[in-house]
Structure 1
Amino acid sequence: MRDQLERALATADLLQGRKLVGVRSVGGSSVGSTWRLSLSDGEELFVKVAQTANLLAEQSGLQALRHWSDPALIEVPQVLGCIPLSGQSALVMAWWDASKGDQFRLGQGLAQLHRASAAAGPGCFGWDHDGFIGLGPQPSGWCDNWGDAFTQLRLHPQLCLAMQWGLAAQDWEPLLGPIAAWLNRHAPEPCLVHGDLWAGNAAVLADGRGLLIDPASWWADREVDLAMTRLFGGFSRRLMEGYSSEWPLPAGAEQRVETLNLYHLLNHANLFGGGYQQRSREILTDLRLSLL
């Protein structure tokens, strides 16, 4: 891997006369592997190796988040390049050192990101090219109304995939219209969201600023990010305190959490099976009881 990376970095002119003196694996997932590179001048790089389409989608999300974030509160890594590498690609960024510090500024920065993007965004919901949520598909498209976007662009594709493990159409098709109508009445502003905000994709830097990585960004209701912070744990109450100090959530947000997180549960059910399938069924049952 070291030789491959050094050749690729040199070809892309990212070494700029420096030498690659160290390559260390820092983990991997179903999406790809990650590496810490040390250069001869002391600079360190973070490199993620995965399928090209996944990395291009991630690059697009990182660039959008970086554009709308306040760097005094949140660091979004700058992409230095996306370079070919033996049938895959390597996404190259500056290295960062994360900690488990106070998440208050992370919450503040997330709220400011949402608010700034809502004030000057496209005015509709969606994304202009296909992406991924982990290894799951995240289709492109645009809708004027939030409920239509969430059901058509996010729930429907995942529910169709769920039929492969036995989720029957009659268990979900009658729900899409009522879910869309319910969320349309909520009428949120389109915001740029991280889109995959579990604890592994956010951290706190040594200087107290927040860090956001590995997005599945799109223009959505800001509540999707806050709902996901509650799905798998790992976030403290300080995140929400920081967020609320900048832009409190509207009334009724608590009642929408499970429905918004159904998207992620379905994606996990489709990718990994297990208890995610049962939890998805339970939420669909709850929605039938409350909406039909």
Structure 2
Amino acid sequence: MLAARASGVAMQQQVMARWLAQQGLELAAMQPVGGGCIHRAWQLDLRDGSRRFAKTNRAALLPVLEAEADGLAALSAAAALEPTAAPGPSIPEPLALAELEGEAVLLLSWLELGGGSQQGWQELGQGLARLHRAGLASSDGRFGWHQSNFIGSGPQHNSWRSSWASFFSEQRLGVQLQLAANAGRALPQAEALLEQVPHWLAGHQPEACLVHGDLWSGNAGLLRGGGSAVFDPAVYRADREVDLAMARLFGGFPAAFFEGYSQEWPLPAGHLQRVELYNLYHMLNHANLFGGGYWQQSAASIQALLRTWS
């Protein structure tokens, strides 16, 4: 089995080398690296001493990689509009996208992750706040995105809405709850929740920021030697609080991150109450993708929200 796996990697390396050569790059070595929850992730060492990062998957998932490249480009464009000279988080550059012998491949610039200081996390929080604010320069006030994309490998619907309350209840919770029902996993009081969400959010009028959309601790980090980075986005225009809410899920970010964000752009009153509501979207998505205990967590969250907000 190990010999077969090594043979498969060697074959992939030959295919990758030919593709890179078409772009004027000479591959010296290729090795798998961690960090790919959905895709396979690779470190590509080039003959000139530089590195690239690649993601590969079956060809059917090329649209997922296309959406990731679109999101990275959008975040970079927003960062370029940031008016201050203060550093923001690094965003990997999508360099090339292709289907190679039955596999989808996305080539990205390399990020050398490995930092861990409290100051670094604080600066990441400050940088995210500046990125959120910079993205408003290109906003027309609507919520959504120019195309639907993906949250993990699940569908993320992004039809434009002028109302945040309508967008979140319909395009986020409504879609996920319908997917659950279609799979025979209708959750108790789901309809009651959907009826209430527009009322709960009616008094909250956020600006339509460009958000990362999938900001858990596995999709951000500090760089070796200083600086920070965000990657693997699921972008759309939304209440900026959705990024800060998700940053509390799945282990969460250090407190310094939230402190840094608040120093740069404080969140409005009531933001902590909205955390569980916004994170229900991600719980439901995980339930639809992975099943298991996420169904129980989603059901418990619905009950807690109905008790808390009533």
Q: Distance in 1 between matches of 2:125 and 2:184?
A: 37
Query: Partner of 1:67 in structure 2?
Result: 77
Is 1:193 matched with 2:203? no
Deviation at residue 73 of structure 1 after TM alignment: 2.1
Q: Distance in 2 between matches of 1:29 and 1:159?
A: 27
Query: Partner of 1:82 in structure 2?
Result: 97
Deviation at residue 291 of structure 1 after TM alignment: 4.5
Query: Partner of 1:21 in structure 2?
Result: 28
Q: What one-letter code is carried by the residue in structure 2 that aligns with 1:84? A: E
Deviation at residue 37 of structure 1 after TM alignment: 0.6
Deviation at residue 121 of structure 1 after TM alignment: 1.3
Q: SS where residue 34 of structure 2 aligns?
A: strand
Is 1:42 matched with 2:61? no
Q: Distance in 2 between matches of 1:124 and 1:260?
A: 18
Map 1:109-128 → 2, pairs under 5 A: 109-128=127-146
Correspondence for 1:214 among 232, 238, 242: 232
Deviation at residue 206 of structure 1 after TM alignment: 2.4
Contact 1:62 1:215 in 2 (8 A): yes
Deviation at residue 175 of structure 1 after TM alignment: 2.1
Query: Partner of 1:241 in structure 2?
Result: 259
Query: Partner of 2:126 in structure 1?
Result: 108
Q: What one-letter code is carried by the residue in structure 2 that aligns with 1:166? A: R
Map 1:1-292 → 2, pairs under 5 A: 1-11=12-22, 13=23, 16=24, 18-27=25-34, 29-50=36-57, 51-69=61-79, 72-101=87-116, 102-163=120-181, 164-168=183-187, 171-291=189-309
Q: SS where residue 137 of structure 1 aligns?
A: strand
Q: TM-score, normalised by structure 1?
A: 0.93
Contact 2:115 2:226 in 1 (8 A): no
Q: What one-letter code is carried by the residue in structure 2 that aligns with 1:283? A: S
Contact 2:20 2:26 in 1 (8 A): no
Deviation at residue 10 of structure 1 after TM alignment: 2.6
% identical aligned pairs: 45
Deviation at residue 149 of structure 1 after TM alignment: 0.6
Deviation at residue 189 of structure 1 after TM alignment: 0.4
Q: Distance in 2 between matches of 1:79 and 1:237?
A: 31
| Number of aligned residue pairs | 287
Deviation at residue 80 of structure 1 after TM alignment: 0.9
Q: Distance in 1 between matches of 2:273 and 2:19?
A: 49
Contact 2:145 2:237 in 1 (8 A): yes
Q: Distance in 1 between matches of 2:28 and 2:176?
A: 44
Q: What one-letter code is carried by the residue in structure 1 that aligns with 2:42? A: W
Contact 2:276 2:305 in 1 (8 A): no
Deviation at residue 285 of structure 1 after TM alignment: 1.0
Q: What one-letter code is carried by the residue in structure 1 that aligns with 2:29? A: G
Query: Any gaps of 5 or more consecutive residues in structure 2?
Result: 1-11
Q: Distance in 2 between matches of 1:234 and 1:99?
A: 17
User: How big is each residue's C-alpha offset from its partner over 1:108-134, in whole Å with a ceiling of 9 and x where there is no partner?
Assistant: 110001111124312110011121111
Contact 1:112 1:246 in 2 (8 A): yes
Contact 2:216 2:247 in 1 (8 A): yes
Q: SS where residue 185 of structure 1 aligns?
A: coil
Q: Distance in 2 between matches of 1:174 and 1:29?
A: 37
Q: Distance in 2 between matches of 1:291 and 1:53?
A: 38
Q: Distance in 1 between matches of 2:115 and 2:134?
A: 26
Q: What one-letter code is carried by the residue in structure 2 that aligns with 1:19? A: E
RMSD value over aligned CA atoms? 1.6
Q: Distance in 2 between matches of 1:142 and 1:234?
A: 30
Q: SS where residue 202 of structure 2 aligns?
A: helix
Q: What one-letter code is carried by the residue in structure 2 that aligns with 1:5? A: M
Contact 1:105 1:208 in 2 (8 A): no
Contact 2:245 2:275 in 1 (8 A): yes
Q: Distance in 2 between matches of 1:62 and 1:22?
A: 26
More displaced stretch, 48-57 vs 113-122: 113-122
Q: SS where residue 24 of structure 1 aligns?
A: strand
More strand by share: 1
Q: What one-letter code is carried by the residue in structure 2 that aligns with 1:65? A: L
